[in-house]
Amino acid sequence: GAGVSQSPRYKVAKRGQDVALRCDPISGHVSLFWYQQALGQGPEFLTYFQNEAQLDKSGLPSDRFFAERPEGSVSTLKIQRTQQEDSAVYLCASSVIAGGPLGSGELFFGEGSRLTVL
């Protein structure tokens, strides 16, 4: 597609429910990132994929958070047994390559999925 697409845009969950958030990156983009943005804050890194490989998941706040990208394109962020502190906007971003010394690594973001846990 033309841009990074995320769904659902809005999700309300009762505490304890499981949720799944989907990201469809720009076609051909190798790298995919998930970020969490609390109200009034900058985004915080959660996890990073290069193709189907999850190369960095150090930002996931607990073992209730799980992300996958099985075919190297669409990714799903799953949150089990949601808590109120999980309420945030979850942003997905993609780039052609990761960057580093050989590439620009410019990131393109989707519009986010706003999760509210009651």
Partner 1 sequence: KQEVTQIPAALSVPEGENLVLNCSFTDSAIYNLQWFRQDPGKGLTSLLLIQSSQREQTSGRLNASLDKSSGRSTLYIAASQPGDSATYLCAVREETSGSRLTFGEGTQLTVNP
Q: Is 93 exposed, middle or buried (CB count within 10 Å of its CB: 0-12, 13-18, 19+)?
A: buried
Count of residues in contact with partner 1, rule CB under 8 A = 32
Q: Per rule CB under 8 A, is residue 68 in the interface with partner 1?
A: no
Strand partners, 93: 33, 109
Q: Which pairing describes strands 113-117 and 10-13: parallel, antiparallel, or unpaired?
A: parallel
Q: Per rule CB under 8 A, is residue 59 in the interface with partner 1?
A: yes
Strand partners, 33: 48, 93
Nearer to partner 1, 17 or 59 (CB): 59
H or E stretch including 113?
Answer: strand 113-117
Q: Per rule CB under 8 A, is residue 72 in the interface with partner 1?
A: no
Shortest distance in whole angstroms from residue 45 CB to partner 1: 4
x/- map, 20-49, partner 1, by CB under 8 A: -----------x-x-x----xxxxxx--x-
Longest Cα pair distance anywhere in the chain, in angstroms? 45
Which residues are near partner 1 by CB under 8 A?
4, 6, 31, 33, 35, 40-45, 48, 50, 55-56, 59, 91, 93, 98-101, 104-112, 114
